[in-house]
Amino acid sequence: MSFRLTDFFPDPYDAVSNTGRWRRLRVLGSGGLAVVYLAEDMTGGLGKVALKVLRSQAQPVHAFELHREAFWSLTKLHCLEHPHYDSEMSKLFVKYFEDHTGFRTSKADFDEHRRQHEADHFDWSEVRPLPGRPYVVMEYLPGQALWAILNPKIRAETKTPAITPEERQLILVQVAKACVYLQKHQLIHRDLRPCNVQICRRGRRCQVKILDFGVMIAAERSLRQCQSSAVRVFGANRTPQDGYDWLPPEVDSSWAGWDADDAADFQHWSG
C-alpha cells in the first residue's frame, strides 16, 4: 500500500507530552484522494478505529462527500432515534463515530449544504477549501474484502479458504438486506462491488459489512440527471466500465443514458 511522507495524520498522540488523541498503528488502505489508518484512541473510549483522512490534493467536493457519508451513517443508518432504524440491519454497514470534515453538522446545515452543492451545474471552482485536513472516524473492521477472497492469486498467497456454498448464500442474503435497509432510508449506495463488501467473519456465522459510502446519494428524482460533481459517479474523462466490475443495467451500456433510482443497488448486486 502506498504511503507518502507528506500524508497527514490528524491529532497524533505524543506519549512524552501526553498530548494529541490518536496513536497511529498502520495504514489499512490508500487511494488517490484518501488514506485509511488503523489508530488507537488514547484519550477517549473508542479503542481501535479507522481514520479516513483526505490527502492534500483532494478538492472541496471530496470533503463534502466525506461529510455526507459520515452524516448519513450518524443520523440515518446508525441513529437509534431514526424512525427507520433497525439494530440488526444497521450492523450490515460500517459505523461512523465522528465527523471532522469542518462542516457544520446540524440537520438544517446539512440540508442547506446539499441544496447548494448538489445543485445542477454547481461551480466547485468557487468553493474555498475548509481549514485543516478533513477526516472521519469509523469502526475498525477485521477480516477481508470479498474481492480478495474471490481472487485465486490473493487467496493462495494468504492461504484463505474459498467461499463455501453456505457462505455464498449468507453473503447474498445479507447484502440484499442491506439494500432493503438503504431503500427504507431512501439512499442509494451506487458502488456495491466486492471491494466494498467486507467479510468480517467466515463459516456458518459469516458476517458482512458494507463499506465506502463516498458516492452514496439520496434517492431523489431531482438528482437522477444532475451534473454536479458531488452527484455524478463518473467524471468527464471516465467511462462507466472503469473500475466498476458489477454495474446496474442503466449504466452498463451508455454513459449518456445514466439514470439511477432506488432499485439501482439491487440491480448492481444481482448483476
Q: Give the domains, in start order, of the chain with CATH numbers.
A: 59-270 (1.10.510)
Q: Is 127 exposed, middle or buried (0-12, 13-18, 19+ CB in 10 A)?
A: middle
CA 143 to chain centre: 17
pLDDT tens track for 6-20: 568 999 999 999 999
The answer to whether residues 189 and 216 touch, using CB atoms and an 8 Å cutoff, is: yes
CA 58 to chain centre: 16
Give the Cα separation of 67 and 266 in Å (integer).
Answer: 25
pLDDT tens track for 206-225: 999 999 998 899 988 888 77
pLDDT tens, the chain, 271 aa long: 334 445 689 999 999 999 999 999 999 988 888 999 999 999 999 999 999 999 988 899 999 999 999 999 999 999 999 999 999 999 999 999 999 999 999 999 999 999 999 998 888 888 888 778 899 999 999 999 999 999 999 999 999 999 999 999 999 999 999 999 999 999 999 888 899 999 999 999 999 999 999 889 998 888 877 888 888 765 544 444 444 444 444 444 444 444 555 556 655 555 5
User: Phi/psi of residue 150, each to 5°?
Assistant: -80, -15
Q: Which residues contact 114 (CB under 8 A, 6 or more apart)?
A: 68, 218
User: What pLDDT, on the 0 to 100 scale, is given for residue 238?
Assistant: 46
DSSP assignment letter at 77? I
Give the Cα separation of 197 and 199 in Å (integer).
Answer: 6
Give the Cα separation of 245 and 214 in Å (integer).
Answer: 17
